[in-house]
A and B are shown apart, each in its own frame.
Chain A
């Protein structure tokens, strides 16, 4: 079976393989901090130029305007061993989803949705996105000084995520906390091995 991600060049047994998790959530929720706490390299930033075409509303002439946006993604790396590398990609800070994310998320094994209890709704689009595409994810409530602390089950109720989605508290600044979240995600993936595959 040819993976859609396979390179066109032959891959020898000695070549490493890479995997990807996506770290999502609203602007300023701590995605880059999360990545940086566990990455073996300081987070890098890559930019992608996105072009979107839109047609005017009162459009008798069918004129379309294209807007070009540059989105930036911060990411980090964890080398598991000589033949396996795990990358953590933070979603762009812009509040837009859909096609801009598809390219970034394609092939991701799973995702972490970071939540700020002061701006809970900021993460709704991310939760919707992963649920719709049936990409396994965990929710991590990031700690912010002065932010209200709600019982986890109240946050779960507000987010309306399935009971099977792990919801944990986390401090994105702390490596041990980030590690716990990633292990939680890996446990979800391992538990889901017998489930239906994600939607295309």
Chain B
């Protein structure tokens, strides 16, 4: 479930020497500088993430590009973590970084006590 396509690439450019595969857990935490919480608000695991439309000229890591490729349509942070195989905490940090740079938007989550939303849910689930 590592799925990390190319541990030898990433931010070091395209001509790095071939290295033996790194443990899947170690590289993501190196990538995030050991951070497991977002700077600022901790993003909800169910928060939807959508890629911005503007093209980016910033060099992104393999993992960030992978995340970007997975959220052309809205996808929850947990979905991004599950599909990349990255730990949830790492995914949160990467998404937070991408959001800070305007690469993605992180959408709101439902608030408790929102009557309209609850009615929409009730109707929607009832129609399943």
Interface residues of A (CB under 8 A from B): 3-11, 15-20, 38, 44-49, 70, 73, 75, 77-78, 80-81, 84-87, 89, 103-104, 106-107, 109, 175, 179, 182-183, 186-187, 189-190, 193, 197-198
Contacts and interface: CB of A to CB of B under 8 A. Distances in A.
A80 B102 CA distance: 27
B89 A186 contact: no
A3 B108 contact: yes
Nearest to A7: B106
Contacts of A8: 40-41, 99-100, 106
B59 interface: no
Contacts of A44: 78-79, 82-83
Interface of B: 25, 36, 40-48, 50, 74, 76, 78-79, 81-83, 87-89, 99-100, 102, 104-113, 115, 117-122, 124-126, 128
Given A19-B46, A46-B88, A77-B79, A183 B109 contact: no
B37 to A, nearest CB: 10
A18 B107 contact: yes
29 contacts: A5-B41, A6-B108, A7-B41, A7-B47, A8-B99, A9-B102, A9-B105, A10-B105, A15-B105, A17-B107, A17-B109, A18-B48, A47-B81, A48-B89, A77-B76, A84-B120, A85-B76, A87-B46, A89-B45, A89-B46, A103-B45, A104-B45, A179-B126, A179-B128, A186-B122, A186-B125, A190-B115, A190-B119, A193-B113
A183 B127 CA distance: 10
A45 B88 CA distance: 10
B45 A11 contact: no
6 smallest beta-carbon distances between A and B, as pairs:
A80-B124, A7-B106, A19-B110, A44-B82, A5-B109, A48-B88
B78 A46 contact: yes
Q: Interface of chain A, helix or strand or loop or mixed?
A: mixed
B78 A9 contact: no
A190 B110 contact: no
A49 B46 contact: no
Contacts of A49: 25, 36, 87-89
Contacts of A107: 44, 46, 109-110
Nearest to A176: B128
A27 to B, nearest CB: 20
A18 B46 contact: yes
B111 A81 contact: no
Nearest to A193: B115
Contact of A48 (B42, B46, B87, B106): B87
B99 A9 contact: yes
A80 to B, nearest CB: 3
A198 B112 CA distance: 9
A190 B125 CA distance: 14
Contacts of A38: 128
Contacts of B76: 18, 77, 85, 87
